[in-house]
Amino acid sequence: MMVRMRKLALAAAFVAGFPLAAAAQGRPKVAVMDFANNGASKELASAAASSVANELDKLAAFQIITNEAIRSLLAFEKQKQMLGCSDAGCLTEIGGALGADYMVSGKVTKLAASAGIPETVQLDLTLTGVRKGTREGAAIETARSEAELMTRVGKAVGKLVQKVLAGRGGRLVVSTRETGAVVKVDDQIKGSTPLQGAIALSGGPHTLSVEKQGFVTYQRDIHIEPNKVLDENVSLVPSPDFIKQYESKQKKLRMGAWISTGVALAGVAGAVYFQSQASSTYGNETSPGTFLYVRRALLDGDESQRAKANQLKSDVETDQTLSYVAAGVGAAGAVAATFFWISGEDPGRYSAYREVAALDVLPTKGGAYAAMTLRF
């Protein structure tokens, strides 16, 4: 009877205190309990619990029930009776009364320095499934200071709910104009651009990085929402050295393209010219001064025309040979021009990045590094 009254009291308090819960219908409810403190201050444990609740809320995948909200609805004695527990059975009981799907409990431990080992602060988190009373996730983060520990809460929360969010995953599409760039998610290689299809990921926060030799590494915190597709259009910034090398190479290729194009056109023009000369010299039997006219006279018995006929025949053969040579040169120029135009790119493609690339960046194996930590 006492247990039942406790459940009813908590349920009534919850319903009265969270009228906006219906707006987040469909999201699992997660209740964050007070964290225990072992050698650490109560203030640190309280701050850690609040930070965990805040990080869970950022995931936009849960409805968050915090102890602060529960306390505002319950008397002090009731708080001690109903919230002063940490075992799985008690947590499950409270979670069921609140209508929560999961309960988060935690402990902050501070270990003093000894025997050359520096002082450490540790955060232990446990995620308990209310319905089955089983542990659905756990995370441990250790730091050398309280401030450093607080910066690692987000990472700990990501580990804590990884299993739960795996069943509420989405997809990531990465597109960039650069080919051959390596795409990583949470430091795991997912392929190189252009990627074939979307990347399936568990719901929640992830770190996306795109790397290519000679470019500033692109890094960004992303959030995957359940059953949704995130389209990430990545603009890679080239390093100053890459821009110089690229422009030098492309200018040479572009020059080669123009020269070979000119050679191709000149070859075609030469072939047309010499073929025209050959045709004109060859002529016909009614055109004086042409090979056919002289040959007709020779066939009619005028031997005085033999020397001239031989000369005209030689001129025709020379012009034809030159036309073939010119055509060959033109064809070779066309092939070379095709190669240079296909292989080369616009030398000014990265001109807009000159000032951006000149900014101070951290050198890396891939050239340079820049990071953005944006959350949505």
Which letter does DSSP use for residue 110 in this model?
A: E
The pLDDT assigned to 15 comes to 39
> Is the per-residue pLDDT at 230 higher than 90?
yes
Q: Name the token pair of 87.
A: 């075992």
59/173: higher pLDDT:
173
Report the chain's mean pLDDT, rounded to a whole number: 80
The pLDDT assigned to 68 comes to 64
The pLDDT assigned to 362 comes to 45
Average pLDDT (200-213) is: 87
d(CA 326, CA 333): 10
> Is the per-residue pLDDT at 218 higher than 90?
yes
> Is the per-residue pLDDT at 119 higher than 50?
yes
The pLDDT assigned to 140 comes to 94
Average pLDDT (54-82) is: 67
The pLDDT assigned to 172 comes to 94
pLDDT-derived band at 345 (thresholds 50, 70, 90) equals confident
Q: What residues pair up with 121 in beta bridges, in sequence order?
A: 110, 143
Q: What is the pLDDT of residues 240-266, one digit of tens each?
A: 888 888 888 989 999 999 999 999 999
Those residues whose C-beta lies under 8 Å from the C-beta of residue 238, and which sit 6 or more positions away, are 214, 215, 216, 246, 350, 353, 357, 367
Average pLDDT (162-187) is: 88
> Is the per-residue pLDDT at 149 higher than 60?
yes
Task: Please choose, from the candidates 209, 216, 211, 210, the residue with its C-alpha nearest in 3D space to the C-alpha of residue 241.
Answer: 216
> Is the per-residue pLDDT at 361 higher than 50?
no
d(CA 141, CA 162): 15
The pLDDT assigned to 126 comes to 93
153/374: higher pLDDT:
153
Q: What is the pLDDT of residues 70-104, one digit of tens each?
A: 665 454 445 445 555 555 566 666 666 667 889 89
Q: What residues pair up with 205 in beta bridges, in sequence order?
A: 223
> Is the per-residue pLDDT at 189 higher than 80?
yes
The pLDDT assigned to 321 comes to 94
Average pLDDT (201-225) is: 88
Least confident among 99-103, 171-175, 193-197: 99-103
Q: Name the token pair of 191.
A: 């392929």
CB atoms within 10 A of CB 120: 16
> Is the per-residue pLDDT at 284 higher than 70?
yes
pLDDT-derived band at 133 (thresholds 50, 70, 90) equals confident
Q: Are strands 29-32 and 63-66 parallel, antiparallel or unpaired?
A: parallel
Least confident among 136-145, 217-226, 269-278, 347-356: 347-356
The pLDDT assigned to 89 comes to 61
Average pLDDT (196-209) is: 86
The pLDDT assigned to 9 comes to 43
The pLDDT assigned to 90 comes to 63
48/202: higher pLDDT:
48
The pLDDT assigned to 355 comes to 62
The pLDDT assigned to 24 comes to 47
Q: What is the pLDDT of residues 7-28, one digit of tens each?
A: 434 444 443 344 334 344 567 8
